[in-house]
Structure 1
Amino acid sequence: MRHTLRNQLEEDGYVVLEDFLRPAECDELLAAGLELTKQAPDSDDKTIFSTLENDKQQLKDKYFLESNDKISFFFEAQAVGPDGKLQVDPSVSLNKVGHALHLLHPIFRCYTYSDRVKAICQELGFREPAVVQSMYIYKNPGLGGEVVAHQDATYLYSEPVPPIGFWIALEDATIQNGCLWMARGSHKSGVHRRLIRNPDKESKQALIYDKGAPVYPQSGFTPVPVSKGTCILIHGHVVHKSAQNKSDKSRHAYTFHVVERQDNAYSPDNWLQEGENAPFQNVYTTPQIV
């Protein structure tokens, strides 16, 4: 098993692990995700999350940069009116919550540093795996925005060993409600572009891309619908995306990224750096409960 999991990730760029979580465990995480919607800020200054290229707000936004060691809230563009007020029920207004749930929230911490995650890291050959960020993704019905084709290493660059994403479906992910689409084998062509901290300190843009957006042919993508409780392991260089959720069913997911710390360089240019309250802790030695 140890050999095959690693081989499949290196061959395809992703691996589908069914029944990674039991339905009741998914329900516990879902309840925690819904509870977070009640804690979202009610101020007029709501941070919108979008992966679309023309939306530069997030790149300029201090809130995003400072979310490395906090539980921060990012709203869907369609959920917020021009006046900053919510146009939908708060329970369906969020795009995601991040980026330190794995350390600061007891339930998400428990699942992130579980024996199952440790075992997967061992099978993948990690010597000193560390979780660098985590996100609860809502993909709400009718609102859940498109996530454009990207590589995770664009945002979390490390070399020579790339980061690995754990993407856990807390509800069935279907083509209708915005499941992942993977470009199988695309990880073999290196990192196509990076989002880096702007070396020009005078600029208002804190983060910049080092190259223009690559164009990926639609024919290269395969939909990966999965059932509740499935974990998709995502190679940091594989190109993937998800469509807007146009259905009447949500597609909640919990995701986190692991990087190798031993003989591997995590780029100081990455937007996300270790925070005082969110060190990059070893998966093998970090307790599930504080």
Structure 2
Amino acid sequence: MMGITGSLTPDQLELFHSQEYVVIESFASEDEISGLRKRMDELLTQFDPSDSSSVFSTTNQHTKDDYFFDSAAKISFFFEEKAFGNNGELKQPKELSINKVGHALHELEPLYKEFTYSSKVSSLVSSFGYRRPVVMQSMYIFKQPGIGGEVVPHQDNSYVYTDPPSCTGLWMALEDSTTLNGCLWAIPGSHKNGLVRRFVRGENGVTYDQPSPSYELKDFVPIEMKAGSMIAIHGDLIHQSFENLSPKSRHAYSLHVVESDGCKWAQDNWIRRENMPEPLYAP
């Protein structure tokens, strides 16, 4: 695809380069939002928890199971840590127990692929100078009411690493995202310190190559977003979200984009693909 023009205004680009994130309001239409949510409802209805599933945790990621690794090229379902009682049974319906669905919605699910490969997403990505961008993973995140787990401070480049680093995270709110239901928080300008650690895959699973730095809560700012808004996040930006203790969920659709022209996909990433996904566009 040739001749793609970046959709960000000069002011938006300046804001992105100064704080390394920018929110684009009304990125998705109400019809697009309802369509993505309705299709996910259908996928959840079809999902049988007894088949195979995994518990997702951002606080304990030293080991992972095959279900997690295989999800790189599949549509897989991950439960919230607090979804189960002491007896090992779900404490609420499965629809209110899932943490996320990933990591190949953008390739295997037609509606999600259509949105991901739309001209609006390509134009946004083009604004950041990508020549041959590839979406390496996609996630539908639920942030369930009452049990939605925290996501500890992290950098996207830790998980989706290329040499040189090239990740941009795209996170779109499918419901209003507020401080009450677990919105994103970030440290503006924290990308200037570079990548602090990586999430690497070895013979015995995955682990971090460095301990986590400590961060001061006062350095984070909340990023509240209306449904349909999209935030673009530099791969080195420190960001997080807290538990959702409210009665409202916080659905979102997330993509991680890397450059495939001149950047090498790291073989020790948790994602190992025989074939790279097709690019959003190419020269």
> Which TM-score band (shorter chain)?
over 0.9
Counterpart mapping for 1:129-278 below 5 A: 129-198=133-202, 201=203, 205-276=204-275
Runs (4+) off by over 6 Å:
none
Give the superposition deviation at 1:284.
Answer: 1.6
1:20 is aligned to 2:27: yes
Q: Gaps (5+ residues) in structure 2?
A: 1-7
- SS at 2:113 equivalent: helix
Does residue 110 of the first structure (1) align with residue 107 of the second (2)? Answer: no
From 279, 282, 285, the equivalent of 2:279 is: 282
Mapping for residues 96-107 of structure 1, pairs under 5 Å: 96-107=100-111
Match of 2:37 among 16, 30, 33: 30
Match of 1:288 in 2: none
Counterparts of 1:275 and 1:243 in 2: how far apart (Å)? 35
Match of 2:128 among 103, 124, 127: 124
Checking the alignment, whether the CA contact within 8 Å between 2:187 and 2:221 is kept in structure 1 is yes
Aligned residues of 1:179 and 1:243 also touching (Cα < 8 A): yes
Distance 1:45 1:68, change over 3 A: closer
* Structure 1 SS opposite 2:46: coil
Aligned-pair distance for 1:2? 5.3
8 A Cα contact 1:160 1:265, kept in partner: yes
For 2:15 and 2:262, the matched residues in 1 are separated by: 23
Q: Give aligned-pair identity as a percent.
A: 43
Separation (CA, whole Å) in 1 of partners of 2:171 and 2:46 = 24
Residues 264 and 218 of structure 1, relative CA distance in 2, 3 Å threshold: same
Give the Cα–Cα distance (whole angstroms) in 1 for the partners of residues 205 and 34 of structure 2: 38
Amino acid paired to 2:239: H
In the alignment, structure 1 residue 9 sits paired with structure 2 residue 16 = yes
Q: CA deviation at 1:85?
A: 2.4
The gaps in structure 1 that reach 5 residues or longer are: 286-290
CA contact (8 A) 1:2 1:124 kept: no
Residue 77 (structure 2) aligns with: 73
TM-score for both structures, normalised by structure 2 = 0.92
Paired with 1:194 and 1:181, the residues of 2 have a C-alpha distance of 20
Q: Deviations over 1:75-116 (max 9, x none)?
A: 001112344421111111100000000000011111100110
Cα RMSD between the aligned structures? 1.6
User: How many aligned residue pairs are there?
Assistant: 275
State whether residues 48 and 77 of structure 1, in contact with CA within 8 Å, keep that contact through their aligned partners in structure 2.
yes
Q: TM-score under structure 1 normalisation?
A: 0.90
Q: Could you give the per-residue CA deviations for residues 187-211 of structure 1, whole angstroms, max 9, x where no partner exists? A: 111111111012xx3xxx3112111
The one-letter amino acid paired with 1:238 is L
